[in-house]
Amino acid sequence: MDMKVSFGGLSLKNPILTASGTFGYGLEYTRFGELATLGGIVVKGLSLEPRVGNPMPRIAETPSGMLNAIGLQNIGVRNFVEKRLPKLPADQMAVIANLYACSAEEFAELAGYLSEQPGVAALEVNISCPNVSSGGILFGQDPKMAARVTEAVKRRAGDKPVIIKLSPNVTDITEIARAAAGAGADILCLINTLSGMAVDARTRRPRLANVIGGLSGPAIKPVALRCVHQVSRAVDVPIIGVGGIASAEDVLEFILVGAHAIQVGTANFIRPDFVFRLVDELERLCEAYGITSFDEYRGSLRL
Amino acid sequence: MTRFGKEGFDGDFFELVLEHPDPQSPAWRNWKPGQFVMVRPTAWEHNPLWGRPFSIYRADEDGLSVFFQIVGRGTERLAKLEPGDEVTVWGPLGNTFAVREDAPTLILAGGIGLAPFAEYVRRHPHPENLKVVFGHRPPVECYPLAKMAERVSCQSCRETCPADLDDFIALLGRVIPDYCRDGLVLACGPMPFLKTVQRIVAEHGGKAQLSLENRMACGVGACLGCVCDHKEEGPVSVCARGPVFWSDEITF
């Protein structure tokens, strides 16, 4: 079957992307598979200047999931563009830059710089990170702020599609989705991690130095599916689904509730070649289920 | 997909023997002591979620093995695996210990930190230059020290009370200065042990190679969950930039 998908100004050879923060800058995984087989990768969140992130410990294992409080450690956008981007096969798959900033102005500056980079296929705007004290999730919990950041990025993004990544840590995710869509988002990505914590009953200490972190992995898949389902019915903007995808069956579930593409996150840690194998597995499962077109299958959930 | 066998040592110690994942690949043909693998049984499904990192204890045509102690949920379940169970392994990962054939080399191991040195000792072309000092709490029979002692000089120190720990630190203080400037000092073990080694070598104007342990999710430098503080480079992943660092490169 034809695995290609096109939506929101983005064309992918298949609907499988990697999620930001779970795939480094792409090069970390080249020994486990060919990047060019993927629809694309979303690189580790980039800020204007390099960031060192939060103190250790900053990851904890939970039942069918993990908590992280990395705090957006990254090499900075210029280092990425100069040292990592040229090594990625950007002509064969989409390289999507994930942006993090503390203000709408900074987001716009990042967008302006990245919009001039030919190897970057799209910009994913992180307004939903729970692990940083300024910016991050605050933008994603207030519809006005979400709209302001979206507008600022759109103004400077040139012809690059703008993806707004939403947080599930809100009362009504459709409200934020509408705000971002109204402000011109080309694509919505949902969801980012769920806010959570883990403690040690013996030592009476939190398991993360930051105390609270973001929960990811198969444990959050039902929440992510619900969010994609709700938002796909509320706004007319294409959606990338992410949250706990760990099989080809999971991919189809997200497409069924309305996603145009998906991102694989924590499953990259379960086994490092997972996302590469997923491309073939998805094609086989489509054949087994008699699915011949993603466009036809998308949103065909029987209620 | 990997078949395995296992050999039980005394107590909660096991050698897990796995079918070699890819003996002919360049990475495996050239693997060196100090490198590690991530090990994850298929039957875990999604819980536990992460693989577990282990130093490579041995890797040859007979298989790949890791030596471990039961310390938590993951290692407890690894110890219960049966022959034929499927295990996913990725590696060899990380960097390696230095080898200076003609230099006097002091190997300092704390507990399960002995594991990466089994192959180091076996491969070393001049074993007469090696000395192993091994600190441990469970009986020495739990560890594969006897095999190493056939080849090199080994000194074992068991901690059964706080005074033993003081004696061990005093021993390190006596033995390290002879090696840390003109020879080579290698250490692997718990963090307090490595910090003590770092302090002593610094006091004597020398340095050591320390193999760090840390909680890891991916093992390949992507998740940034296992970083340590590198004096020049800032936070670096222990799995990808290490696990072996010079003692004057890092801050604990």
Residue B236, pLDDT score: 97
Q: What's the pLDDT band for A61 if we cut at 50, 70, 90? A: very high
Domain count, chain B: 2
What is the domain-level CATH number for residue B156? 3.40.50.80
Cβ separation A59–B40 shorter than 8 A: no
Distance spanning both ends of chain A, measured CA to CA: 27
- Contact residues, chain B, for A219 at CB < 8 Å: 46
A225, two tokens: 């599916």
pLDDT digits (tens, 9 = 90+) for A86-126: 999 999 999 999 999 989 999 999 999 999 999 999 999 99
Tens-digit pLDDT profile for residues A206-251:
999 999 999 999 999 999 999 999 999 999 999 999 999 999 999 9
CATH at residue B77: 2.40.30.10
The token duo for A174 is: 């459709």
> Is A227 tagged catalytic?
no
Pairwise CB contact (< 8 Å): A61 & B50: yes
**Is B53 annotated as belonging to a binding site?**
yes
B116 and B71 fall within a common domain: no
Whether residue B184 sits in one domain with residue B121: yes
How confident is the prediction for chain B on average, in pLDDT?
Answer: 93
Assess if residue B240 is contained within a domain: no
What pLDDT was estimated at residue B9? Answer: 66
- Whether the ipTM is more than 0.90: the answer is yes
**Structure confidence at residue A56 as a pLDDT band (50, 70, 90):** very high
- How far apart are the C-alpha atoms of A253 and A232, rounded to whole Å? 13
Any bridge partners for residue A16, and if so which? A262
Contacts of A31 in chain B (CB under 8 A): 27
Same domain, B10 and B87: yes
Could you tell me if residue B46 is inside a domain? yes
pLDDT, residue B124, reads 96
Same domain assignment for residues B109 and B207: yes
Question: Partners of A61 in the beta sheet?
Answer: A66
Closest CB from B49, B214, B221 relative to A24: B221
Q: How do residues A22-46 score in pLDDT, each as one tens digit? A: 999 999 999 999 999 999 999 999 9
- Please tell me whether residues B74 and B26 are part of one structural domain: yes
Between chains, do B223 and A53 touch, taking CB under 8 Å as contact? no
Q: What mean pLDDT value characterizes chain A?
A: 96
In a domain, B222, yes or no: no
Helix (H), strand (E), coil (C) string for chain A: CCCCEEECCEEECCCEEECCCCCCCCHHHCCCCCHHHCCEEECCCECCCCECCCCCCCEEEECCEEEECCCCCECCHHHHHHHHHHHCCCCCCEEEEEECCCCHHHHHHHHHHHHCCCCCCEEEEECCCCCCCCCCHHHHHCHHHHHHHHHHHHHHCCCCCEEEEECCCCCCHHHHHHHHHHCCCCEEEECCCEEEECEECCCCEECCCCCEEEEECHHHHHHHHHHHHHHHHHCCCCEEEECCCCCHHHHHHHHHCCCCEEEECCHHHHCCCHHHHHHHHHHHHHHHHCCCCHHHHCCCCCC
Chain A positions touching B51 (Cβ under 8 A) are 269-271
Q: Give the CA diameter of chain B.
A: 51
For residue B203, the enclosing domain spans 105-211
Tell me, yes or no, whether B66 and B137 share the same domain: no
Element (H, E) at B239: helix B238-241
CA dihedral angle for residue B219, residue B193, residue B252, residue B148, rounded to 10 degrees:
-40
Residues B63 and B111 in one domain: no
Helices (H), B31-103: 73-79
Helix orientation angle between A221-234 and A248-256, rounded to the nearest 10 degrees: 30
Same domain, B10 and B50: yes
Same domain assignment for residues B70 and B121: no
pLDDT per residue as tens digits for the range A185-214: 999 999 999 999 999 999 999 999 999 999
Q: Is residue B245 part of a domain?
A: no
Residues B52 and B79 in one domain: yes
pLDDT, tens digit, 9 for 90 and up, residues B196-222:
999 999 999 999 999 999 999 999 999
- List, run by run, the mean pLDDT of 10-residue segments along chain B (252 residues): 57 89 89 97 95 95 91 92 92 97 97 96 96 95 92 95 95 95 95 97 96 95 97 96 98 94
B68: in domain:
yes
CA distance B247 to B232: 13
CA B99 to mean position of chain CA atoms: 15
CA distance B36 to chain A (A): 15
Looking at the fold, whether B152 and B179 belong to one and the same domain comes out as yes
pLDDT in tens, A122-167: 999 999 766 665 666 778 899 999 999 999 999 999 999 999 999 9
- Give the pLDDT confidence score for residue A128 in this predicted structure: 78
Domain boundary (B93, B116, B147) is at B93
For B52, name the nearest residue in chain A, comparing CA atoms only.
A270
* Residue B244, in any domain of the structure: no
- The minimal CB distance from B49 to the residues A70, A217, A273 is found for A217
- Could you give the CA distance from residue A293 to residue A205 in angstroms, rounded to a whole number? 51
* Domain presence at residue B247: no
Q: Which of A56, A100, A193 to mutate to test the interface with B (most CBs of B within 10 A)?
A: A56
Do B144 and B86 reside in the same domain of the chain?
A: no
Annotated ligand binding at B228? The verdict is: no
pLDDT tens digit string along B142-185?
999 998 999 999 999 999 999 999 999 999 999 999 999 889 99
Residue B249, domain member (yes or no): no
| Residue (of A98, A155, A102) closest to A123 by Cα position | A98
| Chain A residue closest in CA terms to B38 | A271
C-alpha dihedral, B88 to B93 to B97 to B102, nearest 10°: 90
Q: What is the pTM of this model?
A: 0.94
Task: Give me the residue from A65, A73, A273 closest to B49, CB to CB.
Answer: A65
